[in-house]
Amino acid sequence: MINVSTLSDLGNVGVSPKVDRTTALTTLLNLRSPLPDTLSGLQDIRDHATARIQELAIPSTRDEEWRFTDLSSLLEIQWQAIAGQPSAIAQTEIEPFYLPEASIRLVFVDGVYLPELSAIADLPADVFVGDFTTAQTGGRADLLAHLAQQPGAAETFTTLNTASLTDGAIVVIPANQVIESPIHLLFVSTAGQAVAVTHPRCLVTVGTNSSVTLIEDYVAVSDSVYFTNAVTEIAIAANAQVSHTRVQRDSKAAFHIGKTAVSQARDARYTCNAIAFGAALSRHNLEVYQTGEQTSTTLNGLTFISGAQVADTHSLISYTKPHGSSNQIHKCIVDGKAHAVFNGKIFVPQAAQLTDARQLSQNLLLSEKARIDTKPQLEITADNVKCAHGATVSQLENDEIFYLQSRGISQAQSVRLLTYAFAYEVIHQIAIASLRDTLLQQVK
């Protein structure tokens, strides 16, 4: 029998072995590198987060937000400090991850920015794409004013990332700019720094009436064990538009915890395509705060895991003003003994009248031991809204497989074809053709 549960099935939840999770968090903090002298202006931000760490602990399954994601395996590993220098890597090793459509590219290897592998020439006037250090040394320290300003900054792993800041990617688009080329933020992990911890940070601000396409890409060139703790902050001004694709294709032995925090001003439009294929254990917290009227949010998510992988997606869309809208669809494809979790929250307070919010969780189980925990969640206090949510958990229908077999298609090919069709709806939303084709090929 397929193992399907919901967040109310507490009997299926295992409690982690007793671990001193406060000490574990402090241990991770002690692995951080010192802040470079070139970024001394960020010391107060790091110090504030460091002080906050003393009040926190690694979450356990007793915590409501982590009820179905046990981090015990993360705590069992003796993590090591990053060396401060990237592992030796040839350009030919990472060229397969380049996107021909993206003429603007930032490359970080084991958490270290490599300008020789990046491409930031021919940027429009006043547009800045680079790392924190380049912004500071180039007299553009003002560009970092939005750092650690988004809501949700006090969450445990977000705080750890802020307290461990040494550099990061920064994209600043001023007002009235339409950036035609996608901007590719590529984070590469290698085997040279096994059991190392990195804290990638992205800061994106988009000015009034501007538009940009952003690809945030986490890849690996080996099957090594490492821990990526990533945070991305995106501030979207009035009438601006951001198309954001986040792809997590880490090593199948890695750990990945990510946070995306987005704020939208009046008439701003934000689209996120979040794809998760990699990591032994992964978690993505996607939080969108609509701070102005007539904002529009579109969230497309796909989790495709197998073996013993665990992938957890928690999303939040928080309305504060009238006439906001959102449309979210999240799909999970789970094979083997893998376990996927989806918890999608939508908050509609009294002030957010005339809201139109839709949310759908669709899940496909490919084996008898695969598991899904899903919970679409609406919290509404406004009385003049249109809101809907739903969830489905299913497996491939024998009739569908039989129909394809009757047309001369083998059983294995039939399963692949139906799985491909299920994933296509989400991946097809990615505008970058080369990335879309690569991900669809991986699904096949």
pLDDT at 131 over 50: yes
Provide the whole-model pTM: 0.92
Q: State which H helix or E strand residue 37 sits in.
A: none
More confident residue, 84 or 63: 63
pLDDT at 1 over 80: no
pLDDT at 6 over 80: no
| CA pair distance 402, 409, nearest whole angstrom | 9
pLDDT at 255 over 50: yes
Task: Give every CB contact of residue 248 below 8 A, 6+ residues apart in sequence.
Answer: 218, 256, 258, 274, 275, 276, 277, 278, 279, 282, 284
| Contact (CB, 8 A) for 218 and 248 | yes
pLDDT digits (tens, 9 = 90+) for 149-193: 888 888 999 999 999 999 999 999 999 999 999 999 999 998 766
Retrieve residue 335's tokens.
């094979």
| Contact (CB, 8 A) for 370 and 337 | yes
Q: Confidence class of residue 404 from pLDDT cuts 50, 70 and 90?
A: confident
| Contact (CB, 8 A) for 343 and 372 | no
Give residue 415's pLDDT. 85
Residue 325's beta-bridge partner residues? 296, 356
Mean pLDDT score of the chain, rounded to an integer?
90
pLDDT at 9 over 60: no
| Contact (CB, 8 A) for 335 and 352 | no
- At 102, the amino acid letter reads A
Mean pLDDT for 392-413 is 85
CA angle, 298 then 419 then 71, to 5°: 70
Give residue 83's pLDDT. 66
Task: Give every CB contact of residue 189 below 8 A, 6+ residues apart in sequence.
Answer: 110, 198, 218, 219, 220, 221, 222, 224, 226, 228, 250, 251, 254
Give residue 380's pLDDT. 92
Instruction: Write out the E strands in 306-382.
Output: 310-319, 325-334, 339-348, 356-365, 371-380
pLDDT digits (tens, 9 = 90+) for 262-290: 999 999 999 999 999 999 999 999 999 99
Retrieve residue 279's tokens.
């990591």
Round the CA-based radius of gyration of the chain to a whole number and report it: 21
Residue 216's beta-bridge partner residues? 185, 246
Indicate the SS3 state at residue 243.
Answer: strand
| Contact (CB, 8 A) for 135 and 143 | yes
Q: How many CB atoms lie within 10 A of CB 291?
A: 18
Mean pLDDT for 205-216 is 97
pLDDT at 305 over 90: yes
Mean pLDDT for 311-324 is 96
Q: Confidence class of residue 12 from pLDDT cuts 50, 70 and 90?
A: very low
Q: Confidence class of residue 7 from pLDDT cuts 50, 70 and 90?
A: very low
In a 13 Å sphere around the CA of 316, the CA atoms on its Cβ side amount to 17
Give residue 8's pLDDT. 37
Retrieve residue 25's tokens.
């968090």
Give residue 19's pLDDT. 60
| Contact (CB, 8 A) for 331 and 302 | yes
Query: What does the domain layout of the chain look like in residue ranges?
Result: 3-395, 398-444
pLDDT at 10 over 50: no
Mean pLDDT for 196-212 is 96
Mean pLDDT for 207-215 is 97
| CA pair distance 254, 270, nearest whole angstrom | 29
The residue among 50, 306, 279 whose CA lies nearest residue 159 is 50
Mean pLDDT for 379-399 is 89
Indicate the SS3 state at residue 417.
Answer: helix
pLDDT digits (tens, 9 = 90+) for 13-57: 334 445 688 889 999 999 998 898 888 888 999 999 999 998 999
Indicate the SS3 state at residue 142.
Answer: helix
Walk across the sheet containing 296-305 and list its strands: 112-113, 104-109, 183-189, 211-220, 241-249, 269-276, 296-305, 325-334, 356-365, 386-395
For residue 109, how far is the Cα from the chain centroid?
18
pLDDT digits (tens, 9 = 90+) for 336-358: 999 999 999 999 999 999 999 99
Residue 376's beta-bridge partner residues? 344
Q: What percent of the chain has pLDDT over 90?
A: 70
